[in-house]
Amino acid sequence: MAAQRGKDILLKLFDDGAQAFVSVAGLRTKRIAFGAQSVDITDTESAGRWRELLGGAGVRRVSVSGTGIFKDAASDALVRQAFFDGTIAQWQIVIPDFGTITGAFSITALDYAGNHDGEVTFELALESAAEPAFGAL
């Protein structure tokens, strides 16, 4: 994969009314992390007392976060409503020249901040709530 512009990563939320994914407006920074827990099966007979792990046994997850400014009232309202309703919503993360991750995510944090001489910003954190689908570009 060649070098990419960070601004080209898109975070989209499914809008039931429009029956389409809409971009979450004004995101300046975005982060996607894939994680997996390990299951330690080391015992007294492990060779050289080196740790042994059980393959494929840990819990896997996708974490997504972003920070930005408000620009689009419709997408901001969708995010707020999903958070306050506590719903597991369908999200799509588009990574240019890599692929698209689509699946159920829960909003685990929605923070607002602002300085007296600046704009209001928000920070959003998502955690996968089921197995996501990956589509290569």
Cβ partners under 8 Å of residue 101, min gap 6: 32, 62, 92, 93, 95, 132, 133, 134
Percent of the chain with pLDDT over 70: 95
Nearest to 30 by CA among 69, 66, 76, 70: 66
Tell me what pLDDT residue 20 has.
92
Structural domain including 37 reads 6-136
Model pLDDT for residues 24-39, shown as the tens digit of each residue: 877 889 899 999 999 9
> Which two three-digit tokens encode residue 113?
């901040």
Residue 1 lies in a domain: no
pTM confidence score: 0.84
Q: Categorize the per-residue pLDDT at 40 as very low, low, confident or very high, splitting at 50, 70 and 90.
A: very high
Model pLDDT for residues 99-124, shown as the tens digit of each residue: 999 999 999 999 999 889 988 889 99
Residue 13 carries which side chain, given as an amino acid letter? Answer: L
How many structural domains compose the chain?
Answer: 1
Range from 1-15, 21-35, 56-70 carrying the lowest mean pLDDT? 1-15
Residue 38 carries which side chain, given as an amino acid letter? Answer: S
CATH label of the domain that carries residue 93 = 4.10.410
